[in-house]
Amino acid sequence: MNTPHGTSALNDEATDETKGRYAFVYGDFRRVHRTGLIACQYRAAEWRHKEIELAAHRLLQLLDATSA
C-alpha cells in the first residue's frame, strides 16, 4: 500500500487501469465527499489499515467542523 496520492491511497498490487488500484477513494479530484470519507474509514477498519482509518476520521471531523 502506498501513501495517499491525490484523493485515494494507491494499491501497489493492482494495475493502473483497474478499480482495485485505488483502494480508499474519497473524492473526485475536485472536492472531498463526506460519504467517501465515511466509506474510506470503514474500509480501512475492515482491512486493518489503522493509519488510514484514523486519517479519514480526522478529515471527517475537520470537514464537519468547517461546514457547521
- Residue 55: pLDDT band with limits 50, 70, 90: very high
pLDDT tens by residue, 16-44: 777 666 666 667 767 888 988 998 899 89
Residue closest to 32 by CA, chosen among 11, 12, 54, 58: 58
Domain span at residue 40 reads 4-67
- In this predicted structure, the answer to whether residue 68 has a pLDDT above a threshold of 80 is no
Query: In the predicted model, is pLDDT for residue 60 greater than 70?
Result: yes
pTM: 0.65
Using CA atoms, how far residue 60 sits from 18, 19, 23, 68, in Å, is 27, 23, 18, 12
pLDDT over 90 (residue 15): no
Domain count, the chain: 1
Specify the 3-state DSSP secondary structure of 34. helix
